[in-house]
Chain A
Amino acid sequence: MENFWSICLGRFEEELSAQQFNTWIKPLRFEAGNGILRLLAPNRFVQQWVKDRFLQKIETLAEEVYPGAVQIELALYDATDKKLAPAASTSKKPESPRTEPAALTVESEIAKATKSASPARAANVVKKAKPAVETSGLNPSFTFENFVTGKANQLARAAAIQVAENPGTAYNPLFIYGGVGLGKTHVLQAIGNHLKQQRPDAKIRYLHAERYVSDVVKAYEHKAFDEFKRQYHSLDLLLIDDIQFFAKKSRTQEEFFYAFNSLIEAKKQIIITCDTYPKEIADVDERLRTRFSWGLTVAVEPPELEMRVAILLKKAEVARVDLHEDVAFFIAKQVRSSVRELEGALNRIIAMANFTGHAIDVSLAKEALKDLIAVRGRQITIENIQKTVADYYKIKVAEMYSKKRSRNFARPRQIAMALARELTNHSFPEIGEAFGSRHHTTVMHACDEIEQLRQNDPNVGRDISVLIQVIRD
């Protein structure tokens, strides 16, 4: 049966790019027994991906090789059980306890249960973890009360409240568009939560467009369109997020067209969000785009400075964290693009304050934000160290490789060598080579000497910290 998997591997290697093959197919482990072919994925991400894109192909291949009923199971493998992999099972060495991480000695009953669970059970865990299809998809934490309003979104908010109060009659559909991370989902969810509070029996469904696409695919595969239609056409409120994901999905668009017509006709409310306004949506049917602008179309703009500050203060309040206005202004000036990044910045600052035990002030915020908005550090090379140091001491770069021993040249050269050692991964011999083919012991000597000077001569110490900053920026 191993043979079957090598056929699969061969086929996929031919058809996929090397990166795709290495990412998705190669990490799979193959097991066979009792008429079941089992594919074990290293994580849920790979598992899901293989299930969505490749499982059908694998099943087809299996049918060719084993005519008749063959079952294929897709599950997760426990990464710590590498030792038990077929390749290693012939090992004469007893399993060594030292490869077990210390943390596992306190593992819970659940952990033990999962460890001994069959792959099939592990797969169930994944299934269970996903939200059930029947749920509304609403997250009660998104409300109108905790939605920070400013010039950028007041129109959208007003329209949303109108619709939440008078579903199906005010504006239908309500189409909300704007860039990423500006709170479209929050408005959408808030409408749902508001209506649910007013009418607990209302049938409400929030979902991301991508989910709708996969629901259509599933209905198609299982020939379950009646059930699909029953589910969607009987809603009182349909909230659909990021409709731009319908692009090029003609089957989905067709199904949505029917659902749309049937809901609007029955005066049921539809609310749609998108990253652009209806006319501009790429690769979506004209008849859908026209329908999207039947009701009201409102934009959500990026928040201005004051609103960003207000958002931060509100979030801090919810998190019960003391955030001074000057710190909020500092963060808001650094992070402009989206509310999501703004929240991420605040999360990171709170986490750092908790970890270090320091109060939240501007300098802590500055430190924490480095991780979020720092541009990727330029690759530091020996060449740019040499150039920076030469410029700093106003000598020619050529003196970095020259044999001249005068102090005016030798000291900067030594500093550059020490910085190359500190700031790059190059070895002593490589650094020596880059400085006019000097012997590696010369570099080692330079590093020792500069280290001494750094500690004893404040001028050298200051020069070096300035240089490090310039090189790192």
Chain B
Amino acid sequence: MKQLLLDIQPPASPTLENFVVGRNAEALFQLKSTIQQDGNARFIYLWGASGCGKSHLITACNALAGQHGLNMICVDDVHLLSDEEQISLFDIYNQLRESGGSLVASGQAAPGQMGLRDDLATRLAWGLAYQLHPLSDEEKAQALKIHAQARGMKLPDEVLDYCLRHLRRDMPNLIATIDALDEWSLTDKRAVTLPLLKQLLQLSPG
């Protein structure tokens, strides 16, 4: 029987600092100034295909809002909200606007392109809307290194190169592979190497 790994490793929490910025410098800058409340922008909407960093940024902002006691609400994946949930978000938006609060939201497409209620969509478009652009391969490598480092994992370049050559290169998949590799190396008490990765890839279905 396989040794089960006790999940003692805290997952590396996404922060604004460990976000690999790529072509998204302006969006990141605006998020920071919204959190520091030193700009005019109180409502930010981020959109883009999956794996471009929306959830990372939303989670990071949410944590910061909690730490700084900000009147800020962070909502991921607005395109998945049901009709009722959309009304609730609409209501919350109006309250935040009234009370000087702020909102950071994300979704799959530009505000008017997701079939949301018009009154909600135009409100998301009212603040600053940013498309998040996916990372290049070099930036993905950088992001994975940061991720591995935060887990306290040694990730040799050849393993990283192999991942970028042979795996699907969307971030969720790459991160999941790195995590699985780390867990397996801890369970089996073997160093992270190319042979270990290859073995893992054969183990996993598909």
Query: Which residues of A are interface residues toward B (Cβ below 8 A)?
Result: 19-20, 23, 42-45, 48-49, 52, 76-80, 82-83, 87-88, 91-93, 95-96, 98-99, 101-104, 107-108, 110-111, 113-115, 117, 122, 125-126, 129-131, 137, 139, 179-181, 208, 210-211, 214, 242, 245, 275, 337-338, 340-341, 343-345, 347-348, 351-352, 355-356, 370-377, 425-430, 440, 444
Contacts and interface: CB of A to CB of B under 8 A. Distances in A.
Nearest to B36: A103
Nearest to B133: A371
Contact of B128 (A79, A347, A373): A347
Contacts of A375: 109-110, 113
Contact of B91 (A88, A101, A208): A208
B17 to A, nearest CB: 5
B131 A371 contact: yes
A288 B64 CA distance: 46
B69 A125 contact: yes
B29 A110 contact: no
B68 A114 contact: yes
B62 A42 contact: yes
Contact of A78 (B47, B67, B130, B152): B67
A258 to B, nearest CB: 24
B46 to A, nearest CB: 9
Contacts of A92: 8
Contact of A428 (B30, B130, B165): B165
A80 B66 contact: yes
B66 A78 contact: yes
A340 B13 contact: no
A79 B13 contact: yes
Contacts of B95: 130-131, 211
A377 B48 CA distance: 9
B12 A99 contact: yes
Q: Which interface residue of A208, A371, A426 has the most chain B CB atoms within 10 A? A: A371
A444 B26 contact: no
B156 interface: no
B87 A210 contact: yes
B75 interface: yes
Contacts of A347: 41, 126-128
Given A347-B126, A351-B128, 18 more contacts: A42-B62, A43-B75, A44-B72, A49-B85, A103-B16, A104-B67, A122-B66, A129-B99, A130-B95, A139-B98, A181-B119, A340-B122, A341-B126, A348-B129, A352-B26, A376-B113, A427-B169, A428-B166
Contacts of A341: 111-112, 122, 125-126
B125 A344 contact: yes
Nearest to A104: B67
A245 B119 CA distance: 12
Interface size class, chain B:
35 or more
Given A103-B15, A208-B94, A343 B10 contact: no
B185 interface: no
B98 A137 contact: yes
Given A96-B152, A371-B110, A111 B168 contact: no
B150 interface: yes
A275 B95 CA distance: 20
Nearest to A375: B113
Nearest to B59: A79
B71 interface: yes
Contact of A180 (B9, B99, B119): B119
B69 A45 contact: no
Interface in B58-113: 59-60, 62-69, 71-75, 80, 82, 85, 87-92, 94-95, 98-99, 101, 108-113
Contact of B118 (A137, A180, A345): A180
A179 B122 CA distance: 11
B41 A45 contact: no
A142 B96 CA distance: 17
Nearest to A213: B91
A154 to B, nearest CB: 22
Contacts of B67: 78, 80, 104, 107, 111, 114-115
Nearest to B109: A376
B99 A114 contact: no
A338 B119 CA distance: 10
A252 to B, nearest CB: 14
B205 interface: no
A117 B167 CA distance: 45
Given A337-B112, A341-B125, A375-B113, A99 B10 contact: yes
A426 B126 contact: no
Contact of A440 (B126, B165, B170): B165
A245 B125 CA distance: 21
A371 B91 contact: no
Contact of B126 (A43, A340, A351, A355): A340
B166 A440 contact: yes
Query: What 4 pairs between A and B have smallest CB-CB spacing?
Result: A101-B15, A114-B69, A376-B109, A79-B63
